[in-house]
A and B are shown apart, each in its own frame.
Chain A
């Protein structure tokens, strides 16, 4: 695989931030979006040349926290008037973001030795699970809203519950970083996420609705279930690491694929409407 040069992946990083700006109210985005992107780029370059990759990773942590708080602040000012349809249109982008963070976080599984205490770059990579599950959760809820009628009540609610489970996982990830005893929140969220996703996967095999291969959601759910139960764990640490990596990577890639398919379908629909 061709290695990305710093300039290329910095440009890629800026593209991700630009996509995230869609979460702000449209008027605010039009007024300040370009300036915020320019500022994000300036600081990214500064951090890269002063502290290298770690500097950019830490800047991303600051930016994600900043994004979460200021999006809520700006949306409260416009009384959360993001319509159901606007949120549904964001679904594809949210899932693409969730998938990308999932793929990035999968590489944390390569930490040699004890997995209970991640260190260095592996610790930074595990933090990517938090925005990953946050976006996956919002994306799953968005899918339920977007494919409202064809999904039917059962399909819609299994997606909503799966989304809520992923959001609880993100919350649990943050909570357990503060206090390890709060790990149960993450575990409870993952049980809800997987159970609801299996139910949705089975429904989707029977009655495909999303613009993807009909068994894909079920495969995704089973992959996450295997991860959760750890049933394929062996005595070999190297095999376990590789297996966990592949399962997390698969999870990220599937959400990414679903997000891209939803976005493609939306573009086609917009072209037809035009």
Chain B
């Protein structure tokens, strides 16, 4: 699948797994296990991805050009070279921003309708 004709908004809404992976990769390239650790950290360990879900989603994201593989190793001395690292593409970053903006709009609406009170108080 090519994203040549796609705009970020065409990809929305994202599935939770895709958005979580985009968020995990927002601060640099990571391999599968470190992606899961980051997802686990940012969701207070409420999201647990099995191997099939993680790599199935990564495969779809590669095909959609949201992420790409990289040969760079953050710390070669500490690393297993058989691991595969992934990072956001420029398109993936724009899609993540668009999804974050969409969710922020929804949060504003929820806030204005006083639906956030129970969660914050």
A67 contacts B50, C-beta separation under 8 Å: yes
CB contacts (< 8 Å) of B48 on chain A: these are 62
Do A70 and B50 form a contact, CB below 8 Å, given A35-B55, A43-B33?
yes
Chain B interface size, as a band, is: 10 to 19
B interface, over-half SS? helix
Q: How far is the CB of B87 from chain A (nearest CB, A)?
A: 16
A interface, over-half SS? helix
Q: What is the count of residue pairs linking A and B with beta-carbon distances less than 8 angstroms? A: 54
A36 contacts B55, C-beta separation under 8 Å: yes
Q: How far is the CB of B40 from chain A (nearest CB, A)?
A: 10
- Asked if B59 is at the interface of the complex by the 8 Å CB criterion, the answer is yes
Chain A interface size, as a band, is: 20 to 34
- Asked if A147 is at the interface of the complex by the 8 Å CB criterion, the answer is no
Mark out the residues of chain B between 45 and 73 whose CB falls within 8 Å of any chain A CB in the assembled complex. 48-56, 59
Query: In the complex, A70 Cα to B50 Cα: how many Å?
Result: 9
CB contacts (< 8 Å) of A115 on chain B: these are none
Top 9 A-B pairs, shortest CB-CB distance: A66-B50, A70-B52, A36-B51, A42-B33, A32-B55, A39-B32, A66-B52, A39-B51, A70-B56
Which residues of A approach B to under 8 Å, CB–CB?
17, 24, 28, 31-32, 34-40, 42-43, 62-63, 65-67, 69-71, 73-74
